[in-house]
Each structure stands twice: as C-alpha cells, then as structure tokens.
C-alpha cells in the first residue's frame, strides 16, 4: 500500500507543468477569494475596469452582499494558469 505522501506527490506532479513547476504562481500570494483590488493588481488595471468586465460577464465572479469576489480556482482556469503549482 502506498503512503499518502506518495499519492500527494503524484497528484501534485500531474498538475504541474515541468517547465513551470519551479516558478511561483502569480496567484500564490492571494487567498482563496480574490477581491476587486487583488484582481486589479493581478491584471495591472484599474478597479473600474474590473467592475466593467464583471458587468459585461467577461470575468467570472461571485457576489457576497454588495461585494464582488473571485474564487482563486476559477481565476487559475480563466487565466490559463493550470500549469503552475498553486499553493
């Protein structure tokens, strides 16, 4: 029977691209939910642009109360960052 550490290593290596495995993910410094300010910083744009993208349904988001949040796993897929090892 294989140990859980071995299984985790296999799962992690199958997710990470060898070329990108040693590079930190651009999203690694953020939590599980990104804010509008986080997205503006990440995409190097203004918060107004982020709101406009959400209004046009061009950016996936969740609304909690009056605030917009962006789930990290959805942003990884949306931005095509699946090859990075995300912590």
Q: Is residue 40 part of a domain?
A: yes
Q: Is residue 46 part of a domain?
A: yes
The residue range of the domain holding 67 is: 31-87
Q: Is residue 62 part of a domain?
A: yes
Q: Grade residue 8 by pLDDT with cuts at 50, 70 and 90.
A: very low
Q: Grade residue 9 by pLDDT with cuts at 50, 70 and 90.
A: very low
Q: Is residue 6 part of a domain?
A: no
CATH number at residue 36: 1.10.10
Hey, which residues does 85 pair with through a beta bridge? 24
Grouping H, G, I as helix, E, B as strand and the rest as coil, residue 71 is strand
- Lateral strand order in the sheet of 33-34: 33-34, 67-71, 62-64
Taking only the tens place, the pLDDT of each residue in 31-75 is 999 999 999 999 999 999 999 999 999 999 999 999 999 999 999
The domain total for the chain is: 1
Q: Is residue 71 part of a domain?
A: yes
The pLDDT > 90 percentage for the chain reads 49
């Amino acid at each position: 029977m294989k140990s859980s550490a071995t299984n985790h290593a296999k799962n992690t290596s199958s997710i990470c691209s060898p070329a990108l495995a040693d590079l930190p993910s651009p999203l690694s410094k953020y939590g599980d939910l990104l804010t509008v300010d986080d997205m503006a910083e990440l995409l190097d744009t203004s918060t107004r642009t982020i709101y406009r993208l959400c209004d046009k349904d061009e950016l996936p988001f969740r609304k909690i109360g009056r605030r917009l949040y962006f789930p990290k796993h959805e942003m990884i897929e949306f931005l095509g960052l699946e090859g990075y090892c995300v912590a």
